[in-house]
Amino acid sequence: MSKRALTKYLSELKKKELESQLIDLYTRFPIVKEYYDFVFNPKEDKLVQDAKVKISNEYFPQRRKRAKARRSVAQKFIKHFITLGVDPHFTADLMLYNLEIAQTYSINKNIPTTFYKSMEKSFNELVRYISLNGLLSQFKDRIVACYRFTTENDWPYQEDFSKSLDILD
């Protein structure tokens, strides 16, 4: 169904029918419920804290011995935050937190180069996101600290990290 056809169909419905359809969607689909819960009660700071706990658990697990260190966990939260319309400041903070916790994890560990490549991709996405949303003044120190960490610890893909920073200039 196209958007135009949906608009026409909805305009033909009476208010009670429209309300009952929305209630039905709310009860049937968890994603609709989550969206409306967020719209009417946006506890953004709580969402960010929950996401940070889960991301840190990827690198420093509480219940298992080995860290999984999956970038995909953080990416799912970031994508979800963008879809929900969470304040860009909170999303950027989560993106930076993901990089910072991964950098802490990488100290004194034997890590495959794919890890560094995925962190470079995260860094690039972070810089683009901050640039698009005009948040550089609030996050510049943390971005520079992340970049310095990569150079001081001889991370691979230094040139790519440097190119990402060029976006800000």
pLDDT in tens, 22-48: 999 999 999 888 888 888 888 888 989
Average pLDDT of the chain is 91
Rounded to two decimals, the pTM is 0.83
Phi-psi region of 154 (alpha: psi -120 to 50; beta: other; left: phi over 0): left
Where exactly are the structural domains of the chain?
1-41, 43-166
Mean pLDDT of 103-114: 88
Q: CATH assignment of 43-166? A: 1.25.40
Q: Does residue 168 carry a pLDDT above 80? A: no
Q: Does residue 67 carry a pLDDT above 80? A: yes
Q: 117 vs 168, which has greater pLDDT?
A: 117
